[in-house]
Chains A and B, each alone.
Chain A
Amino acid sequence: MIYTAGVAGTAALHLLKTERELNVHSVFNNGMNLVSKTGSLIFIGTDKNGYFPFGITLDPFSTKKVITKSRPQDKITINRQEIRHKDFSIILNQVKEYRPDFDFHLADIGLLRENLKQIDFSSYADSDFSHEKMKCLLDGLKNYSPELESQLRYFIGRGNGLTPTGDDILTGILYGDALNKFIDDRSYGLIQRLYNEDITTLVSKSFIQLALNEIFSSRITDLHHDPSVETMNRLKTLGSSSGLDTLYGIYKTLNQE
């Protein structure tokens, strides 16, 4: 069976140009991950959670078929505009490219900060990601404090799911930083180094590595075009808590004391 991809992120298209062979890494509800020998990731699945820089979207019917036929470790070959598995092909000839959105300067930070106050973050107060923990991390990132590495190791990979909560919060912090720079250059280097270790899921790793280059998924970048509560609520629906975790990271970053 042949399926047609709808939208593909720039990072995914780049990987398809440079790789000839991938493997199925994991298969889950909304799609699956393919991984290269060097650990780069492509997500193939529905656009339920918006568009990702390393994502390729299929319609729900095709996604269901593709994930039914795929098992971890299955070999995938890349042939120009075709992703080929032994039981199906995904063709990219009609694919629309999802390009990174770098229009951070368009953001109305005041309104964003104001509207974020309408989101309920009370569940974090007594969690592993309390106000105090967040303050220490943000201060550490800003001043490159000696404790930063242990603080980052505490956050990275902490929590369950495809993207643990600690990583999602860090994505939010990096987005907040893209809007309003505050992180010390040495802190970026440290984040980069830690994420090269296998201390979180491959999906989180892919998100953070792109976020360090100011590349985010569409549900996040929508915020600098429309900082309304509706846009935030759309981001909130991402994953079971990923969207809210990201918003929490942005909220804390933009409201630093």
Chain B
Amino acid sequence: MSLTRPGLWAAALLLALSLGTLAAVAWRAEWAGGLGAADWAAIRFTLTQALVSAALSVGLAVPVARALARRAFPGRAVLVTLLGAPFILPVVVAVMGLLAVFGRRGLVSDALATFGLPPIDIYGFEGVVLAHVFFNLPLATRMLLQGWLAIPSERFRLAESLGAPVGRLLEWPMVRATAPGAFLVIFLICLSSFAVALILGGGPRATTVELAIYQAVRFDFDLGRAALLALVQFGLCALVAAVAFRVALPDGLGGGLDRVVRRRDGVPLLDAAWIGAAALFLLVPLGAVVLAGVAGLVDLPGSIWAASLRSLGVALVATALAMTLALVLALRPGAGVSLAGVLPLAASPLVVGTGLFVLLYPFVSPGRVALAVTALVNAMMAVPFAVRILAPAVAQAEATYGRLADGLGLAGWQRLRLLLLPRLRRPLGFAAGLAAALSMGDLGVITLFAGSDKATLPLEMYRLMGSYRSDAAAGAGLLLFGLSLGLFWLFDRGGRIGADT
């Protein structure tokens, strides 16, 4: 297929951005020594919390996604959109929302107090895992839900009329194919977690590798140690990626007509309980974010609007770039491409940013390219999600219609336009929504490059927080939440429109 070459280019670009920037940092470093005992403690903690967080997120997502896949109810579409919300919230905003529910003065503690019980204390390992599940359960649910929706409805009807076990024949193979990928992605997100672990971790026991990198770059200016730690992070990523790819089995179900599944199996009450519990867990903290932010909206400074426009621009550019890269990668499956689609997640944003700084500084003033670099790095960080969402859909379309298309001599651009893109609408919309929202909410590398007057909305929010203006910061958080969710909804819906007919 003539789309091979762009796929290679995209893979090369992602490799350069993740490993190349690491090399640039290492090249600029003065080597002082290896890793100390504290670094190893950080590696252990990072690994443990990431494994537990990812296992819980994916494990809980299976029944939730299954329930969502087979039940139709009013508000389902809104709920599915809102599922994307925690994941795209800026970390600090989401943590404040979580604390409004699970904190010492949160709803749960208040409820306990009415029974004369002491408040719950989530600071520590539990808090870190709780927050990571809050962020990633929705993502896992959406990824698995895509898998469920990709099972042709004809199969369910056939299985039903034959009285065959739907779970074993149809659903388990799909979970086998989808869950390891979801687990890997979430593991990697938790691996490079920094602020969550630090805010909810309760103390230096909860030091992650990313914090150690942050300290090395920003406080000690020990670039050698930063590069070494970033390498460790890549090593952990490679290890878990190898396991995940081995466990994942290719899905060989064949195709059908894209109809919404109408099913009668399962216990409705149990499904309702899963959906209700997940919705409560996710939506109550979001409600707290909205409540806290509404009062602050009137305090927003004028500069917030220019910052919002800048962030929207960055998000749209990053989305276009991420979708292009992800699509060409998804069209050319293979080990190298899979790796390029995962590596960016294991990259430390700080090391990537510092590496780019080192590489670009000789040629251009950092402030001038701040927004361009932010868009580029945001796109890079979104590619793994997009590839994970697109690749199975591409594979399925190829498996179903590939031979027909070959017979018709459909190749290259024609094949993409006539065969693949129409089949990919739903995953493309979801992936683009995710990329846009992620880019919108990410503080990213703008802090490394920021010149004069180039603040993005997340940066502006942090600045408000950093100067006592917590009400206005909460307002900015709500604005950011609204814009991110709006972008997500637009793209995601764009992909879903007409999917029912």
- Same assembly: no
Task: Give B contacts to A, CB under 8 Å.
Answer: none
